Amino acid sequence: MPERTVILNAERILKECRIGADTIEHLHGAYRSPVERIPTQTAGWHGADDIATLEGLGGEFLWAENPLQPARTTFTFDPGHVGSQGRYKLARLAGMPEEGIFYCVPNNPAIGWAFISLVPKTGMARPFTVAGMFTDAVSKISILLLNKTDAQGPVEPPFAAQRIV
């Protein structure tokens, strides 16, 4: 069916249904929004040199930085800073939770890896390099492999952060 015929039929159907212009605009916006958010990377495993975005980091993760002290962390991006900075809360089974600001950067060829830095309200910043991650079709991260860092760079072996929510 030629495109012009499809457009005329769609306009006729909308006119017959008596749908208001504001409703049509709302529906068009609802359609357009996910289409405009086409992922900048494909679903699946991404190694350290294949991390185009960390926009899918928001949410809750099991945090295995210290296997003897299980923890749960929540990442919430600040408005206007999705994929770059926000707030985090790290709760362990024992002790007070750690809270603060986090910063994250996708892979940058100048440094060779993506990283996440936790900056607690009290204490020193704790940087982690991203050794790899598993994402879905909309770049939502389900598993992160992170390395602690020291003055020489990433410390092996990496630990996992697994999405809960």
Provide the pLDDT confidence category of residue 10 given band limits of 50, 70 and 90. low
Q: What ranges do the domains of the chain cover? A: 3-36, 44-163
What count of other Cβ atoms lies within 10 Å of the Cβ of residue 129? Answer: 21
Q: Which residue is associated with the tokens 């296997």? A: 67
Q: What H or E segment, with its residue span, contains residue 5?
A: helix 3-17
pLDDT in tens, 66-121: 988 889 999 999 999 999 999 999 999 878 899 999 999 999 777 788 999 999 99
pTM over 0.85: no
